[in-house]
C-alpha cells in the first residue's frame, strides 16, 4: 500500500484530480461576462463589501483582513481597463479584526464600518471615518471577551445618523447614535429559527427604508424581516413568495418597492404593501466561485461585490 502512495501512478492521479477544478476555474475566468464588469487590481485576496461613492467617482471596498480601500473610476473609463485599489484605512489597534459591512453616511460625510473578530467571535465594533481625510471619528465597541459570542456583520444608517449593526452570531441588532454612543439592542424571538444549523450565519444584510423602518435578512434561513423603529422596534417576518432567499447576504434598495438580495444567486424582490409581504421576481447567477456578498447602485444599475480575488483582477 505504501508503495502505491510513493509511485508515479499516485502522483499522476493526484495531478489529474487537482487539474480538474483548476481547469474549471480557468474556463470560468476566461468566459465573456454577460453583464458590465469593473475589474480591478486588489491589494489582497478577500473583499467583503462595496459601496459606490458618486461625488468622488470611486468604489469603496472593505477588507476581510481589516481596512478599507478606494477604487477610483475615471470619467471616461474604458471597459477593458483594469482599475487600481488604493488602501485608505488600516488601523493598527484593530489588527486581527475584519472590516465587513460598510455604508456611506452622506449628510455627515463619513463611512461607517462594521468590524468583527471572524474566528473567535469575541469582538465587535462600529467605526466611522471622514470621507475626505479618512480620520477615524469614533470607534464604538459592541461586544468583547466577557460578552456572549457575537459577530458584527453589516450596517445601515438612518437620516438622523443613527447606525444599525447586525449580529450574525447572536441574532440581534445594535443601535449606535450619530456621535458614536451606544443606544440600544433590538432583539426578537423571530430572529432565531428553531433549527440550530440555520443559525450558523444569522442576521446579515440590512437597509434603512426611506419610510422609516429596517429590512434585514437572516442568511441561512432566508427569512426577511421588517423592523419598525418608529413603533417600538416592532419585528415582523415577511411572507415571501416566488422563491427562497436562503443564503442571502448584503441588501440594497433599488427603489422603495424593489430590493436586491446579494448572494448565490442574487435575487430581485418586490413589495407593493410597505414590505408586509414580498415576491421574488428575478434572479441573477454571476461567477459563483467568486462568492457574491454585497450589492451597490451606480447610475441606477446594480453592481455586485465578489469576495474572492484569486490573485487576478
pLDDT band, residue 1 (cuts 50/70/90): very low
42-81 tens-digit pLDDT: 999 899 999 999 999 999 999 999 999 999 999 988 888 9
Percentage of residues of the chain with pLDDT beyond 90:
77
The pLDDT value recorded for residue 312 is: 61
257-291 tens-digit pLDDT: 999 999 999 999 999 999 999 999 999 988 878 88
C-alpha cell at 269: 424582490
Q: What are the backbone angles phi and psi of residue 74, rounded to the nearest 5°?
A: -60, 155
CATH architecture of 45-306: 7 Propeller (2.130)
pTM recorded for the entire structure: 0.90
Q: Which residue has the cell 442574487?
A: 266
> Domain coordinates of the chain in residue numbers?
45-306
Amino acid at each position: 500500500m505504501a508503495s502505491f502512495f510513493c509511485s508515479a501512478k499516485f502522483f499522476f492521479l493526484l495531478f489529474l484530480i487537482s487539474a480538474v477544478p483548476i481547469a474549471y476555474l480557468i474556463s470560468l475566468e476566461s468566459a465573456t461576462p454577460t453583464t458590465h464588469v469593473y475589474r480591478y487590481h486588489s491589494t489582497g485576496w478577500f473583499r467583503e463589501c462595496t459601496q459606490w461613492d458618486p461625488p468622488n467617482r470611486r468604489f469603496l471596498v472593505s477588507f476581510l483582513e481589516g481596512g478599507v480601500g478606494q477604487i477610483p473610476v475615471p470619467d471616461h473609463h474604458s471597459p477593458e481597463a483594469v482599475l487600481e485599489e488604493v488602501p485608505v484605512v488600516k488601523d493598527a489597534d484593530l489588527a486581527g479584526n475584519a472590516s465587513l459591512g460598510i455604508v456611506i453616511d452622506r449628510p455627515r460625510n463619513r463611512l461607517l464600518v462594521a468590524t468583527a473578530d471572524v474566528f473567535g467571535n469575541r469582538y465587535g465594533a462600529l467605526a466611522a471615518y471622514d470621507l475626505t481625510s479618512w480620520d477615524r471619528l469614533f470607534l464604538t465597541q459592541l461586544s468583547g471577551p466577557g460578552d456572549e459570542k457575537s459577530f458584527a456583520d453589516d450596517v445601515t444608517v438612518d437620516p438622523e445618523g443613527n447606525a444599525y449593526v447586525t449580529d450574525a452570531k447572536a441574532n440581534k441588532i445594535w443601535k449606535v447614535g450619530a456621535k458614536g454612543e451606544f443606544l440600544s439592542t433590538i432583539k426578537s424571538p423571530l430572529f432565531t429559527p428553531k433549527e440550530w444549523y440555520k443559525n450558523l450565519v444569522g442576521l446579515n444584510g440590512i437597509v434603512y427604508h426611506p419610510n422609516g423602518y429596517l429590512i434585514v435578512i437572516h442568511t441561512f434561513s432566508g427569512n426577511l424581516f421588517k423592523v419598525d423603529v418608529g413603533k417600538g422596534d416592532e419585528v415582523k417576518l415577511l411572507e415571501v413568495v416566488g422563491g427562497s432567499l436562503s443564503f442571502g447576504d448584503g441588501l440594497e434598495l433599488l427603489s422603495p418597492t424593489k430590493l436586491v438580495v446579494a448572494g448565490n444567486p442574487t435575487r430581485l424582490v418586490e413589495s407593493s404593501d410597505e414590505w408586509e409581504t414580498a415576491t421574488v421576481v428575478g434572479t441573477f447567477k454571476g461567477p459563483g466561485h467568486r462568492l457574491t456578498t454585497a450589492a451597490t447602485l451606480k447610475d441606477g444599475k446594480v453592481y455586485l461585490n465578489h469576495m474572492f480575488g484569486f490573485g487576478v483582477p
